[in-house]
Structure 1
Amino acid sequence: MPIYPYEKNGKEHWYYAFEVKDADGKRKTIKKRGFDGKTKARKAEAEAKVTWERGSYIDPSKVTLGEYITKWLENKRDISLETRSTNEGHLRNHILPIIGSIQLQKVSVSDIEKLIESLYDKGLADGTVRKVYNLVNTCFKVATKKELLIKNPFDLLEKGDKPKKGKAKFDYWTTDEVKHFFKVLDHRQRIMFVLAIRCGMRRSEICGLRWKDINFSNKSLSIIQTLRPQQGLKIGTKSSASSRSIALSETVIIELQRHRKLILEERLACDEYQDNDLVVCQPNGLPVSLGNFDKFWKRIIKNTGMRYIKFHELRHTCASLLLSAGVHPKVVKELLGHSSISITIDTYTHLMPNMQLDAVNTLDKMLN
């Protein structure tokens, strides 16, 4: 059997190679490397021969990047439905139109540079550019590891040509703006905005919150369930740090009790009420529609006459107001459910200029 050993990084690997004739009678060699065992190589060779004889064999050297990365993404199992949907969007909108038709083995450094340039030309945020870049780079790393490529073109990029990790930019409302917002806001889902601004909760956490997750006696709530665009209601959170307990102020307790009264009235009035125990729900008890959420938020902005910020930036508003008031970053980190305090500090460091001054002044008082 045409199975051959070779050495790579001090370890023995195997490859198969066999000759065939194409439709024109020309001889060609079918070859594949990267097997860590002789048995695996022999089994793969047998499958390749059967596939060739059936006429469905695809020469690895002829596979385009678009064909390979699409198949690779389809077979990827270690990502959530939301991440998969996002990646498919990046693939469809940004990757395939620029370099998708190039043969995988012929993608060059200049092609990668062209992709990066096209992303910036579209005016995409630095974070989005890096996500697209990392998606393609990871795909090429896998292809290189499987020895479909001799060299990963990403490794040849100059450091200055790689997308830089830009600092996240966000907007938030001031104290006066928040006061005005709640003064003019008149909506059955008012509690949604109360939880976002006063508790720093994410949209998925607010829309998945159940009444049984709230302890009115202890004035706290627990983040246990979330509502996701692709997965719907799901037990579990974004990360282990996101699963947390949040203390509730007297104002939030009053708002929750007022909202609970409304929900009980709607339940009695609706003959086909579907009780999911949700705090934020439609009048019939079903979860809110995340597909129309942006339009819903823009209507709220229009009806209240507020300066536009993204709904997620209500969470930033909560953090910004707390830090500006001198609350310790560790407390804010725990409230928001960040995985580490460095994320909190890196994101909001520009809001804490007085903290350092307060620290040195305190030291002055101690030593003088």
Structure 2
Amino acid sequence: MADYPVTQGTHGPIYHICPGLRVNLNDDGNWELMLRTTDKRKRSSFGKGEEAFKKAIKAGELLALKLGLLQVEHDKERLLSEVAAEWLNLNRQRWSGTTHERYSQVVRDYINPKLGFLPLSRINRAKVREALTETAKIRAAKSVELVHATLSGIFNEAIDLGYTNENPSAGLLKKILPPKRKRNLTKPDPFSLKDRDLMLEAAYKHLPGSYPLILETIAFTGMRLGECLAMRREHLDLTNNQYFICESIRRDVIGSPKTGDRLIDLPEYLTKKLGAHITRMREEALAGAAFTDFLFPGIQQNAVRLMLKRACYAAKLRSRSPHDLRHTYASSLLMAHYSPVYVQKQLGHHSISMTCDVYGHWIPGEGKKNLDETLAGQPVSRRPALEVVDKKIPLVAASGTKSGTIY
């Protein structure tokens, strides 16, 4: 229930959101939102039941915020949306561009629509829990974790600034999500090498421009999508077949890679393809096209995801994401007995344990060869065979007396 003054009307309770705006039951038992000011009158019906009541309250709060009526009662209090904007601004310098954009998106898409119009004093644990629960119904566990972390950061900032004395989001995540080991997390779905090649063949037949080369680059380097789209000519070593990853791009914002800079090896044939791509870009520039240092200028991440789906459809494969191409690269190297340390460095993981935890279960035969010899202490060929003697063996009881024979 909302924390608003309640009076009793003819047909039931009346919730006063602010002067001139209320939610009440009409004579048909439907919840309705009624606006009465000196120059405006409006009435909207939302139906019956608890869900209709919640929708009427939320619509009233949004209308009050839009008309500036909510500020009449709370002109001395800060709205959560205002504190969120202040939090983003104060921390801009210490965050990377990608991190700032990620938090801004969470505030814009998940927090402001549900809680941003409320003053801090009106946001309690029940409201935060309701918002997180609604998010959990439509988004994965990792998204809920991110929304919770963002809310917690906003309220901690509000405490430091003296706007409030408590963080209503503290400790709520464990009451909404199951333990991490029991969560239904999205599992990687790598291509088999045969399916990867079929997808790339379809990509070169059906996709326009540089999209096939982008997909092939991710599949044969293990780059993240943002790292691939931020590739520059100056970081490509055509002689040594290497590329220096030091940038990533998302929503046209250039930032640092997720786990820092790294130097990766490239297959020789891919280096030649990238070199030919650069040559074509130079030729197009001589013909009047704009020339840039980026290998794939102006291409958005969502466009690459869409093109990969089209390539999968053309190859009659189930749809996958660009990140599954990265999983394909890692699992392929490990199954070919490349060192996990080498794979970790190629992928840019923080630790070897992350590489083994994510990809180890895709290598069921890893380390299995010569298992018999290892456990026996000597080659199987040198071990004496067990002699099977076809004779009766006396069976002796515990007391030492003969009790019978076995065959």
Q: TM-score scaled to structure 1, two decimals?
A: 0.69
Structure 1: gaps (5+ residues): 1-55, 282-286
| Counterpart-to-counterpart distance in 1, 2:107 and 2:310 | 32
Contact 2:133–2:176 at 8 Å: present in 1 too?
A: no
Report the counterpart of residue 327 of structure 1 in structure 2: 338
Q: What does residue 338 of structure 1 align with?
A: 349
Letter in structure 2 aligned against 1:259: H
Distance 2:115 2:302 in 1: 31
Go from structure 1 to structure 2 and tell me whether the alpha carbon gap of 1:70 and 1:164 turns closer, same or farther (over 3 Å shift): farther
* 2:69 pairs with 1:69: no
Alignment partner for residue 157 of structure 2, among 137, 142, 145? 142
The CA deviation string for residues 75-122 of structure 1, in whole angstroms up to 9 with x for no partner, is: 33233343333323322332233333443134322222212211112x
SS at match of 2:319: coil
Unaligned runs of 5+ in 2: 1-70, 380-407
In structure 2, what is the Cα distance between the partners aligned to 1:156 and 1:205? 35
Partner of 2:389: none
Task: Find out whether 1:86 has 2:108 as its counterpart.
Answer: no
- Indicate how the Cα distance of structure 1 residues 90 and 164 shifts in structure 2: closer, same or farther if over 3 A, else same: farther
| SS at structure 2 position matched to 1:262 | helix
Q: Deviations over 1:159-183 (max 9, x none)?
A: 4445754445222211110121233
Aligned length: 301
Matches within 5 A, 1:90-101: 90-101=106-117
Higher Cα radius of gyration: 2
**How far has the Cα of 1:244 moved from its partner?**
1.6
Higher relative contact order (CA 8 A, sep 6+): 1
Whether contact under 8 Å (1:130, 1:164) holds in the other structure is no
Amino acid at match of 2:169: F
Could you tell me how far apart the structure 2 residues matched to 1:126 and 1:158 are?
10
Partner in structure 1 of residue 259 of structure 2: 239
* Corresponding position of 1:250: 268
Task: Tell me which residue corresponds to 2:216.
Answer: 194
What SS does structure 1 have at the residue aligned with 2:264? strand
Amino acid at match of 1:237: P
**Corresponding position: 1:351 with 2:358:** no
What is the SS of the residue equivalent to 2:365? helix
Identity of counterpart residues, as a percentage?
A: 23
Cross-structure match for 2:196: 178
Query: Matches of residues 269-280 of structure 1 in structure 2 within 5 Å?
Result: 270-271=287-288, 273-280=289-296
Q: What CA RMSD, in Å, does the superposition of the two structures yield over aligned residues?
A: 3.3
In structure 2, C-alpha distance between the alignment counterparts of 1:176 and 1:223, rounded to whole Å: 28
1:109 paired to 2:125: yes
How many Å separate the matches in 2 of 1:253 and 1:365?
47
Amino acid at match of 2:125: V
Query: Distance between the aligned counterparts of 1:118 and 1:358, measured in 2?
Result: 50
1:124 counterpart (129, 139, 150): 139
Partners of 1:289 and 1:98 in 2: how far apart?
Answer: 29
Q: What SS class does the counterpart of residue 185 from structure 1 fall into?
A: helix
Q: Return the letter of the residue paired with 1:88.
A: S
Q: For 1:162 and 1:142, locate their aligned partners in 2 and report how far apart those are by CA, in whole Å.
A: 25
